[in-house]
Structure 1
Amino acid sequence: MERGWALPLLLCWRGRWILWLLPALAGGDAPTVSVPGAYEERTVTGVRGRAVELGCGPPGAAVVFWSFAGPPGAPEPPRAVAVAAGGRAALAPGAGALGRPSVRNGTLRLGRLRPAAQGRFLCQALRPERGRLRAAYAAVRLRVLVPVSKPAVRPAAAAVAEGAAAALRCAVREGSAPLRFSWRRHHPAEGHRGDDDDGDDDGGDDGATAGRGAALRLAPAARSHAGWYACTARNEVSSRSSAPAFLDVAYGPDAPVITAGGGEAQRALAAAEGAALVLRCRAASRPRCRYAWLRDGGRLQRGATLRLPRLAAAHAGTYACLARNPRLRTRARAALRLTVRPRPPVASYVAAPVAAVAGMALAAAAALLAARHVAHNRDQHPRLHALLFRT
């Protein structure tokens, strides 16, 4: 690349007009007043909103020119940014579009860096050497990185049926590429548990890594996939995490279980007439299923609990519990055969006690008669009299 002189910059400083020619590195002949100097190219990375410093050759330059050539391949010629001489600096109009520029000791500092500053900065430093001006040239390629914005999980709340495909997307408004994504999963919320959920999450530990990539796909979705999901987006500058979003996996109802009085599941039950009976029905489902009871095919009531406070012969029959998932509109049922044992006749309750009492009375009367006989015939039975009456 040849160094040329194509862009004149006219600056007014302390009431004097000075005409300098700024190198554009675009062809042409250099002035004969300068001694050819070093040429340097390098890359500097800055972050939007922060400060970055661009150096120009060795220190001690008498005059430093800075220009901006824009991104590679830009059709516009370089435009002036700043010139510094004698410890003072002047900024060209429009330089504020790059950030907050300032020059000190030949170094261009851009505060509150803007994305528009990404591109090539050209610098020429002139310093006197043995009565002549020696020039140093630099081309600085500035990369302006944008921190990643706070990501969001889309959709914010998703609901799928078990067995279907579920997809979550990590959306980022801005951030310099390349972006890297990761997903973490947490326990389901209390309010989203199914009837059979006792607080344990079968799908993994709290905060477990669930996947990588901008999209998380679960196909097919299982009930253990239900829970809170958060994504993290990273780039070279920063890393940020999203607020968690809940994935609800609807399932069931599974086969209902009928229990009597809190005992084990039963399919047949015998109870005495007049006894109280409580039947409960339970089925794993998300969301909570709705229950209905039937007897011999006829509807009895709604609800998971059926109470029969006093059994009668008419209560005997086949009881069925019907569980229905209101979201999926799926159903499941379980049945129980109830037999009511009749009561024994009243006489059977009375005969045994009466017979026992009668026997006791007869024995007592016989003992009394024997004692009277011994008392009146003391002389005939002295030993027996002494034993009974202890005389």
Structure 2
Amino acid sequence: MSVYPLPLSAVEINPKWEVVYQDTSVYGVVGKAVILECGPTLPEMYIWSFTMPGTEAIRAVVYDLGKGQRIQQLAQTLGQLTVISNSAAVSIENLPLAAQGLFTCQAFYDMEQEPKVFYYYVHLTVRVPVSKPYLLMSDVSPVEGSTMWMRCNLENGTGPIQYVWQHETRSGNISAFAQGNTNIINVTNINRNHTGWYRCVASNAVNSESSNRLWLDTIFGPDIPQIDVTPYSITERGYSALERETVSLLCQAQSNPASQYVWFYNNSQVYTGPQLTITKILRMHTGDYACLAQNTYLNTRSKKTISLTVYYPPDGSPSCSVEAARNYPTLRLLCSGPADYLPHSPPGPDSGNQVGQDETNTAVLLPSEGLNSNSLFTAWAPHWLSNNQHISDAILLWDGGAQKLVWWGADGQAKGGEENSNILIFARHRPQRKTYTCHVSIHFGPNQNLQRRVVSVYEGSDVQPPAN
């Protein structure tokens, strides 16, 4: 049982035999117990009376005039009142709010000689604990940028009362959002960071109570979308991808409620959902991709557009040739084909050694001295978008001696009489078996007759010079 005792004060004897008055204050709590003191010693007679706040009437509660205690009917309204043994103090249990007021104890000493009279004024304040508060909001789903209020309501509680509003995030972090001695606060310029659980805590001198949580859901968005491209490759013009790759476009826009997404390709709707996946993307998929994010609750939207370029290797393969240069003592190795191809340095004949490279003209000059017939020259022409190396072969057929002009014809057909080279070029993938004729014009000098010889060779066989 909790009690709140009255501070003791020494009895003072007035030498003029006048009544002595003494004031004290006592605090009790509804439903608890309190003790009211009537001097430090047991008087010969005493009378306890009660005065309600706002009145001047004094009504007896309990007295003892030397013939035992007499508890009055009024005491029943003031709680469970009893007199403590060997004293004039009273104990009140299960204290009601109605017991708040002024209690007066009149104490009498030395009645047979010179009586001494004391008045003990006990001011009893009955405090009420704060009840469990409940939180109210003017809007539990405010729109970002708006204003709303929160109110912490109490059924009971003796003031002064302090109020604290607590904010709990989704992660469980709790902080004091606001506090003061009023039970209502205004929140201006609501933003998404205000989203979370809220509770109010009410406190007075007796106790502290917390309300249940209430969820505040801020409506906002959508923000400008963010587009993530996988695989990630960015250029000056935007994003890029390689033909036949699988490309994923992921759109995300902060919004509450969550955004709805629509994809557009060159202003035509192509997909609904946050992630657009293109399996084995083709060159025709180059263009602008736009993601539209929509908040259906607010009927708001935002949009972002990116440019996607699909790179692809050129069609076809390069072709290479070998021709005489500088009046025959030198060979020129040439490669031609799609503009995007640039061959590596060609290796030497029948070896893995490079003989040179001209990155501008894709041509290499090579001395013909010492070269054998049937020498094989191979050019590698890789493209930066392709894992395959495109290859072209050139076979050198050479007959040293006099200066010659040579051209080739297939199946007996001359090449229009055009002077060409004594080199016959075969692609890596050769056609069906044909007859190739090498027309040779030998120049002996300005006064010598021109002699012509015809040599026929079948694919896969060696070239043998004809007998003189």
Q: Is structure 2 residue 295 aligned with structure 1 residue 325?
A: yes
After superposition, the Cα gap between the structure-2 partners of 1:352 and 1:247, relative to the gap in structure 1 and judged at 3 Å, is closer
SS in 2 for 1:332: strand
What stretches of structure 1 of length at least 5 have no aligned partner? 1-34, 191-205, 361-367, 370-391
After superposition, the Cα gap between the structure-2 partners of 1:73 and 1:320, relative to the gap in structure 1 and judged at 3 Å, is same
Out of 280-289 and 220-229, give the one that drifted further: 220-229
Checking the alignment, whether the CA contact within 8 Å between 1:292 and 1:303 is kept in structure 2 is: yes
- How many Å separate the matches in 1 of 2:67 and 2:292? 90
Checking the alignment, whether the CA contact within 8 Å between 1:230 and 1:245 is kept in structure 2 is: yes
Q: Is structure 2 residue 317 aligned with structure 1 residue 337?
A: no
Name the larger-Rg structure: 2
The residue number in structure 1 matching 2:82 is: 102
Structure with higher RCO (Cα < 8 A, 6+ apart): 1
- The residue type equivalent to 2:119 in the other structure is Y
- Give CA deviations for 1:289-334 in whole Å, capped at 9, x if unaligned: 1111122333222210001113235434322111112332221001
- Give CA deviations for 1:51-107 in whole Å, capped at 9, x if unaligned: 111122342212322222211236xx3333222466953322242221111112111
Percent sequence identity over matched residues? 31
Q: Is structure 2 residue 32 aligned with structure 1 residue 62?
A: no
SS in 2 for 1:121: strand
- The residue type equivalent to 1:207 in the other structure is I
- How many Å separate the matches in 2 of 1:356 and 1:211? 87
After superposition, the Cα gap between the structure-2 partners of 1:140 and 1:352, relative to the gap in structure 1 and judged at 3 Å, is closer
After superposition, the Cα gap between the structure-2 partners of 1:140 and 1:351, relative to the gap in structure 1 and judged at 3 Å, is closer
- Give CA deviations for 1:246-304 in whole Å, capped at 9, x if unaligned: 33222221111112116388973343443322111111223321111122333222210
- The residue type equivalent to 1:150 in the other structure is K
User: Aligned-pair distance for 1:157?
Assistant: 7.9
Scaled by the length of structure 1, the TM-score of the pair is 0.69
Scaled by the length of structure 2, the TM-score of the pair is 0.59
- Give CA deviations for 1:97-147 in whole Å, capped at 9, x if unaligned: 211111121112111111001111222223343346543223322111111
User: Aligned-pair distance for 1:180?
Assistant: 1.6
After superposition, the Cα gap between the structure-2 partners of 1:182 and 1:316, relative to the gap in structure 1 and judged at 3 Å, is same
The residue number in structure 2 matching 1:355 is: 393
- The residue type equivalent to 1:332 in the other structure is S
SS in 2 for 1:183: strand
- How many Å separate the matches in 2 of 1:40 and 1:128? 19
After superposition, the Cα gap between the structure-2 partners of 1:52 and 1:156, relative to the gap in structure 1 and judged at 3 Å, is farther
- The 5 Å alignment of 1:22-33 reads none
- How many Å separate the matches in 2 of 1:318 and 1:334? 10
- How many Å separate the matches in 1 of 2:268 and 2:187? 42
SS in 2 for 1:160: coil
The residue number in structure 2 matching 1:308 is: 278
**CA root-mean-square deviation:** 3.7
The residue number in structure 2 matching 1:12 is: none
SS in 2 for 1:161: coil
Q: Is structure 2 residue 118 aligned with structure 1 residue 136?
A: yes
Runs of 4+ in 1 over 4 A off after TM superposition: 85-88, 264-267, 346-351, 356-360
- The 5 Å alignment of 1:131-210 reads 131=113, 133-155=115-137, 158-189=140-171, 206-210=173-177
The residue number in structure 1 matching 2:249 is: 279
- The residue type equivalent to 2:53 in the other structure is P
Aligned counterpart in structure 2 of residue 211 of structure 1, from 168, 178, 187? 178
- The residue type equivalent to 2:89 in the other structure is T
Aligned counterpart in structure 2 of residue 261 of structure 1, from 201, 214, 230? 230
After superposition, the Cα gap between the structure-2 partners of 1:264 and 1:257, relative to the gap in structure 1 and judged at 3 Å, is farther
User: Aligned-pair distance for 1:224?
Assistant: 2.4
- The residue type equivalent to 1:98 in the other structure is L
User: Aligned-pair distance for 1:169?
Assistant: 1.9
The residue number in structure 2 matching 1:82 is: 62
- How many Å separate the matches in 2 of 1:182 and 1:240? 10
What stretches of structure 2 of length at least 5 have no aligned partner? 1-16, 319-385, 396-425, 429-460, 463-468
Checking the alignment, whether the CA contact within 8 Å between 2:20 and 2:117 is kept in structure 1 is: yes
User: Aligned-pair distance for 1:343?
Assistant: 5.5
The structure in which a higher percent of residues are helix is 1
